[in-house]
Amino acid sequence: MSKVLRPLLFLVVAAVFVLGACSSSGTGTSTEAVRTVAAAEAVGMLDSRTVIDVRSAEEYDAGHVAGAINIDVEASDFGAKISALDPADPYLVYCRSGRRSAIAADTMAEAGFTDIIDAGGLEPLADAGAPIE
């Protein structure tokens, strides 16, 4: 093997190793920790999980699932607030449409939370019988 090909081959093997290691550890945790469920199933879980409304305080004040705590996923202190929670406890997150709840669930999984239900939006939850206050 020539002196030029040997270092090139080494770089290719090293790159494959690094990329493979990054992809196998980066996504497995969040995929396993987060489960998205239909609103009717989520309503049946409300009493057995800490429920987190990840909308803004104004949206929360306009109406939320009874007993839900408000931690705005778009606020700068979202990470600090979730770090105060026990990552081993079961959680259920929701927002208005499901976009922010997905972001929150993935962020929580990346932070080490192991049991997160993404329940999507508030309106489907209310339509499925979730108590609103």
Q: Return the active site residues.
A: 95
Cβ(85)–Cβ(71) below 8 Å: no
Q: Give the residue from 43, 36, 45 showing the smallest Cα distance to 103.
A: 36
Cβ(48)–Cβ(91) below 8 Å: no
Tell me the two tokens of residue 48.
């057995």
Alpha helix ranges (H) inside the chain: 5-26, 28-33, 39-43, 57-61, 78-83, 99-110, 122-127
User: What whole-number distance in Å separates Cα of residue 37 and Cα of residue 27?
Assistant: 20
Q: Give the residue from 94, 111, 122 showing the smallest Cα distance to 36.
A: 94
